[in-house]
A and B are shown apart, each in its own frame.
Chain A
Amino acid sequence: MIVLSREGDKAVLRPSGADIVSSLVPELRAQMRGIVEEGVRDLVVDLANVQMVDSSGIGLLISAHNSLHKLGGRLAVVHASKDILDLFHTMRIHQHFSVTGDGGED
């Protein structure tokens, strides 16, 4: 289940009990596209309940970043586990959009 909270042009997506892997990507992608079409420009993906992000999931986050960047908006990933932070740092993803961990570290 993906929980969405929204206020103006800001939205927070919180995949709940589901990892961001290829099986979830189509649903999450559709939801992201929908809210961006509705005018959301400040999108936060909260990974508090996510243990795993696979290559498809990374691709989805980057495509969301690309869409928002084109529109003058921004993507932020928050509450990433230390494993996810390590992976994102290794791939230098944090140089493109904000990625913070459980304790707010980047």
Chain B
Amino acid sequence: MDQAPFDDELLDDYLLESCELLANIEPYLLAMEQDGAEIDERLVNRVFRAAHSIRGGAGFFDLVNIRELAHNIETALDLIRCRQMVPTADVVTILLRGFSKLRELIQNCRESGEPDIAELVATVAGLTEDHLPAGEKHLSMGRMEVAVPETRQRVDVSAFDLNQARRSGQCIYLMRYDLIHDIQRRGKTPWEVFKCLIQTGTIMETFLDLDSAGTLDGPPSNQLLLEVVYATAVEPEMIGRLGVASPQRVLLIEKNRPSADTVVRARP
């Protein structure tokens, strides 16, 4: 019997986890305000990771408003983390508004794309604009092309994701799955594979190879290729054994070491 290739489990997990992450955000932010310039790194990292996880999942599910808002909150928190912005009362007030709206959107995630949140997003983005050095204004936005070693291939990813992966010393891989051979014929579902990847890293982008499906003419294609650009702390020796279904091919794009200074510049 064929297994369902998808279910609500993954989205339910994401929503549950997001609610848990948001549960204590207000007291954490107020504590950050009290600490001022003398930040408690563990505290800031905890709030940052909440925004990061929510943004990552929203990108995966294409929840546009949640992704945009969380992305801008995350960028502002990253500046606080790097001591480029002090969490003053004004800054924290804006972040509180942002997290409050995030909670509202997540609680109504099916309709989360409908409200016009442009003004709030601009206000949160304004924090970054006000505190980034002039030459780095576009750093948190835009896309970057990254070359895949040993191939002529270049992949287009979010500059922010790339910076995050580089600064936290993660490996970036290009993994190719054949959804028919690697997943369906092994009794697995795409959701199971995606879920495992999300738990151990960040899916930066996916590319479906339309040509691999062939056309209605001629014999049916027995493959469907999906490439995933993936950032994770999992080392190259272990990556092939990650998850419920091994990818057909794994290419290491970058192996990074943690650094506070490594930044990449997005296309203007």
Residues in chain A near residue B211, CB distance under 8 A: 66
Checking A23, A52, A55 against B224 with a beta-carbon cut-off of 8 angstroms, the contacting residue is: A55
Contact yes or no, B206 A91, CB < 8 A: yes
Checking B6, B179, B216 against A83 with a beta-carbon cut-off of 8 angstroms, the contacting residue is: B6
Q: Which A residues are within 8 Å of any B CB, using their own CB?
A: 19, 21-23, 25-26, 29, 32-33, 36, 51-56, 58-60, 62-67, 70, 82-84, 86-87, 89-93, 96
Contact yes or no, A91 B190, CB < 8 A: yes
Contact yes or no, B184 A82, CB < 8 A: no
Q: How far is the CB of A51 from chain B (nearest CB, A)?
A: 8
Q: Give bound CA distance, A33 to B206, whole Å.
A: 29
Contact yes or no, B60 A92, CB < 8 A: no
Q: Give bound CA distance, A82 to B8, whole Å.
A: 9
Contact yes or no, A90 B62, CB < 8 A: yes
Q: How far is the CB of A94 from chain B (nearest CB, A)?
A: 8
Q: How far is the CB of B164 from chain A (nearest CB, A)?
A: 20
Checking A21, A66, A89 against B213 with a beta-carbon cut-off of 8 angstroms, the contacting residue is: A66
Contact yes or no, B208 A90, CB < 8 A: no
Q: How far is the CB of A74 from chain B (nearest CB, A)?
A: 14
Checking B110, B213, B214 against A82 with a beta-carbon cut-off of 8 angstroms, the contacting residue is: B110
Contact A66 B2, CB 8 Å, known A86-B61, A90-B62, A91-B206: no
Q: Give bound CA distance, A63 to B211, whole Å.
A: 8
Residues in chain B near residue A96, CB distance under 8 A: 208, 210
B180 interface contact, C-beta 8 A: yes
B215 interface contact, C-beta 8 A: yes
B7 interface contact, C-beta 8 A: yes
Q: How far is the CB of B187 from chain A (nearest CB, A)?
A: 11
Contact yes or no, A89 B2, CB < 8 A: no
Q: How far is the CB of B260 from chain A (nearest CB, A)?
A: 33
In chain B between 186 and 211, which residues have their CB closer than 8 angstroms to a CB of chain A?
A: 190-191, 194, 206-208, 210-211
Q: How far is the CB of B6 from chain A (nearest CB, A)?
A: 4
Chain B residue at minimum C-beta to C-beta distance from A26: B220
B102 interface contact, C-beta 8 A: no
Q: Give bound CA distance, A91 to B8, whole Å.
A: 16
Q: How far is the CB of A23 from chain B (nearest CB, A)?
A: 7
Residues in chain A near residue B226, CB distance under 8 A: 91
Checking B8, B184, B194, B217 against A55 with a beta-carbon cut-off of 8 angstroms, the contacting residue is: B184
Q: How far is the CB of B121 from chain A (nearest CB, A)?
A: 21
Residues in chain B near residue A59, CB distance under 8 A: 179-180, 213, 220-221, 223-224
Residues in chain A near residue B22, CB distance under 8 A: none
Contact yes or no, B6 A86, CB < 8 A: yes
Beta-carbon contacts of B1-45 to A below 8 Å, as 1s and 0s? 011111110010000000000000000000000000000000000
Contact yes or no, A55 B215, CB < 8 A: no
Chain B residue at minimum C-beta to C-beta distance from A22: B2
Contact yes or no, B216 A62, CB < 8 A: no
Contact yes or no, A62 B208, CB < 8 A: yes
Q: How far is the CB of A85 from chain B (nearest CB, A)?
A: 9
Checking B7, B194, B224 against A58 with a beta-carbon cut-off of 8 angstroms, the contacting residue is: B224
B175 interface contact, C-beta 8 A: no
Contact A92 B206, CB 8 Å, known A55-B184, A82-B110: yes
Chain B residue at minimum C-beta to C-beta distance from A94: B62
Known: A29-B220, A66-B214. 10 other contacts (CB 8 A): A51-B4, A52-B5, A55-B183, A59-B223, A63-B216, A67-B216, A70-B215, A89-B62, A90-B190, A91-B226
